[in-house]
């Protein structure tokens, strides 16, 4: 039975090592440094396994005692890894292993408590001087900084504040659109070659209004569609993060029901167009339109739930200058999280395509769609370049959208969209799926923007 316990313990360490990308590892090592590792020890750790081994050698984690790990993962905001540890604890407990929520004292503290060296004269004087004051070290001999787990992340929801005739659920048995809200905040991104800095200073909309090189500021309209949500487990995390960010900056967010057929997707696009037209005049006019589609992809476009293809041109058509005149001259963005090819590059992270399902998005189709004036002020952002897969990870979400949200949250008040997407390109390009062969991903954008766009 003990062999079974040790086997589960090893499997936990191996899975944690595989699940972490470069950014996660750097954050893991940094936080572990405050959980028992000295700076010199942490700097010598080159993989998550090294950090785990050091923490185990110092007695911070051991078989059946993983509270220190869960505290670290809580600070990292890695709910998926916390769930992994909890699952292992459950399996161990079922096999008769005792589980403890206590954090073992650091090895150095045990040495201090277990030995009583001769006190020097200097030490006696220091002790004498400090008798009238209490020391934080005396009150906490283990020097252990306890971290309270954050509250469970909750997903909020709200009903429509006003009825929308074009969105009336009585039109069809399945209401194609729903609105959601959430009070959760996203974590700050780890550092990369681009520095992310918290900046509470907000831009003055009047200044942007007067700038000829910028689109006019205002309230945007965001439409989110997510297909194959069950088999693409982490896609729901992407949707929640997108809802949080765009609602935080005051945009109207409409999230379609999951797993839409092609007919339903086209209906949703048309309803979004009608909603924008209703507010085309007056102060409530939308300043931009953003359509985000997360799904499988094939040669012609993205897949609907009934396995039909919705081309990029079909996604764009209702919102271009000739179809939606009120948005002429306003930025329109289409963000596509889907694979664009069959090439299989083995890796631990799960691709957005299952074997035998999808093909690729045709780059020439995109180029044809941006050759006429009606397609001015359009940006298409792809999760990956032509011919390759886009990856996601359970417990985090897709590589592309998760990094995009981290950059947007950190820099939306200071940087314009294309600069932020360039940083997203950089961050995703540094990720590597671990496996028998390295697997990389490179996002790309096609833009006919004529000005700078700020959220």
**CATH code, 31:** 1.10.533.10
Is residue 149 pLDDT above 70, yes or no?
no
Residues 304 and 436 placed together within one structural domain of the fold = yes
Co-location of 248 and 388 in the same domain: yes
Same domain, 76 and 185: no
Closest CA to 354 of 286, 293, 300, 303: 303
Structural domain ending residue among the three candidates 68, 94, 120:
94
319: pLDDT strictly greater than 90: yes
- Segment 168-225, tens digit of pLDDT: 333 344 444 544 443 333 343 344 445 444 444 445 555 676 788 999 989 999 999 9
Looking at mean pLDDT, say which of 25-39, 236-250, 388-402 comes out highest: 236-250
Looking at per-residue confidence, does 329 or 145 come out higher?
Answer: 329
Q: Are residues 318 and 416 in the same domain?
A: yes
Instruction: Indicate whether 244 and 354 sit together in one domain.
Output: yes
Same domain, 85 and 176: no
Range 340-351 average pLDDT: 52
Q: Is residue 159 part of a domain?
A: no
Assess whether pLDDT exceeds 60 at residue 316: yes
What pLDDT is attached to residue 422? 95
Which pair of tokens denotes residue 35?
């959980």
Total domain count for the chain?
A: 2
Same domain for 303 and 403, yes or no, is yes
Residue 364 pLDDT grade (very low, low, confident, very high; cuts 50, 70, 90): very low
Residue 310 maps to which CATH number? Answer: 3.40.50.1460
Rounded distance, CA 259 to CA 180, Å? 17
Domain that holds residue 431: 165-191+204-447
Residue 198 lies in a domain: no
What is the pLDDT averaged over residues 229-245? 89
Domain end among 44, 65, 94: 94
Residue 287's pLDDT band (boundaries 50, 70, 90)?
very high
In the predicted structure, residue 347 carries a pLDDT above the cut 50 = no
Q: Please indicate, yes or no, if residue 250 is contained in any of the structural domains.
A: yes
CA distance 205 to 288: 15
What residues does 253 pair with on adjacent strands? 222
Final residue before a domain boundary, out of 94, 128, 147: 94
Over range 12-36, report the average pLDDT.
84
Shared-domain flag, residues 279 and 413:
yes
Question: Which two three-digit tokens encode residue 10?
Answer: 């090893």
Q: Which of 440, 329, 431 is nearest to 375 (CA)?
A: 329
Backbone angles phi, psi at 252, to 5 degrees: -80, 130
Q: And the tokens for 412?
A: 């939306």
Q: How confident is the model at residue 282 (pLDDT cuts 50, 70, 90)?
A: low
- Residue 371 pLDDT class (50, 70, 90 cuts): very low
Give the residue with greater pLDDT, 378 vs 197. Answer: 378
Judge whether 390 lies within some domain. Answer: yes
Element (H, E) at 299: none
Identify which of 454, 445, 446 has the alpha carbon closest to the alpha carbon of residue 417. 454
Residue 155 clears pLDDT 50, i.e. is over it: no
Write the DSSP symbol of residue 318: G
More confident residue, 122 or 265: 265
- Is 105 a residue whose pLDDT tops 80? no
Q: Would 127 be classed as within a structural domain?
A: no
Mean pLDDT of 363-384: 67
Would residue 292 count as lying in a domain? yes
Which of 82-91, 183-192, 224-233, 392-401 is the least confident region?
A: 183-192
Calculate mean pLDDT across residues 10-29. 86
């Amino acid at each position: 039975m003990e062999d079974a316990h040790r086997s589960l313990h090893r499997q936990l360490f191996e899975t944690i090592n595989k699940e972490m990308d470069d950014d996660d590892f750097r954050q893991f090592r940094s936080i572990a440094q405050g959980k028992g590792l000295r700076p010199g020890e942490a700097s010598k750790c080159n993989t998550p396994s090294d950090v785990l081994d050091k923490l185990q050698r110092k007695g911070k984690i051991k078989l059946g005692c993983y509270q220190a790990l869960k505290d670290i993962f809580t600070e990292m905001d890695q709910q998926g890894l916390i769930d992994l540890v909890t699952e292992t604890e459950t399996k161990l407990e079922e096999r008769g292993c005792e589980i403890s929520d206590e954090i073992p004292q650091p090895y150095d503290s045990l040495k201090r408590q277990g030995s009583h060296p001769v006190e020097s004269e200097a030490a006696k004087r220091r002790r004498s001087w400090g008798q009238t004051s209490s020391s934080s070290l005396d009150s906490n001999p283990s020097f252990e900084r306890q971290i309270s787990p954050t509250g469970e992340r909750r997903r909020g929801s709200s009903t429509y504040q006003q009825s929308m005739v074009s969105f009336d659920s009585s039109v069809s048995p399945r209401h194609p659109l729903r609105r959601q809200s959430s009070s959760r905040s996203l974590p700050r991104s780890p550092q990369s070659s681009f520095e992310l800095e918290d900046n509470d200073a907000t831009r003055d909309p009047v200044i942007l209004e007067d700038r000829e090189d910028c689109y006019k500021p205002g309230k945007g309209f965001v439409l989110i569609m997510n297909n194959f949500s069950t088999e693409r487990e982490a896609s729901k995390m992407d949707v929640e993060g997108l809802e949080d960010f765009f609602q935080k900056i005051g945009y109207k967010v409409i999230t379609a029901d999951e797993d839409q057929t092609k007919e339903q997707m086209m209906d949703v696009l048309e309803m979004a167009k009608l909603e924008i037209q209703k507010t085309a005049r007056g102060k409530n006019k939308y300043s931009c339109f953003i359509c985000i589609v997360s799904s499988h992809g094939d040669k012609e476009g993205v897949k609907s739930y009934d396995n039909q293809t919705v081309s990029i041109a079909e996604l764009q058509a209702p919102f271009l200058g000739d179809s939606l005149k009120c948005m002429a001259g306003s930025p329109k963005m289409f963000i596509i999280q889907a694979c664009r090819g069959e090439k299989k590059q083995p890796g631990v992270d799960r691709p957005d395509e299952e074997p035998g399902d999808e093909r690729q998005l045709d780059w020439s189709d995109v180029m044809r769609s941006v050759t006429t004036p009606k397609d001015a002020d359009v940006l298409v952002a792809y999760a990956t370049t032509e011919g390759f897969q886009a990856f996601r990870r359970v417990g985090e979400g897709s590589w592309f959208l998760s990094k995009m949200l981290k950059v947007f949250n950190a820099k939306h008040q200071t940087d314009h969209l294309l600069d932020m997407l360039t940083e997203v390109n950089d961050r995703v390009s540094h990720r590597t799926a671990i496996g028998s062969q390295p697997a990389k991903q490179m996002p790309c954008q096609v833009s006919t923007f004529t000005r700078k766009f700020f959220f």
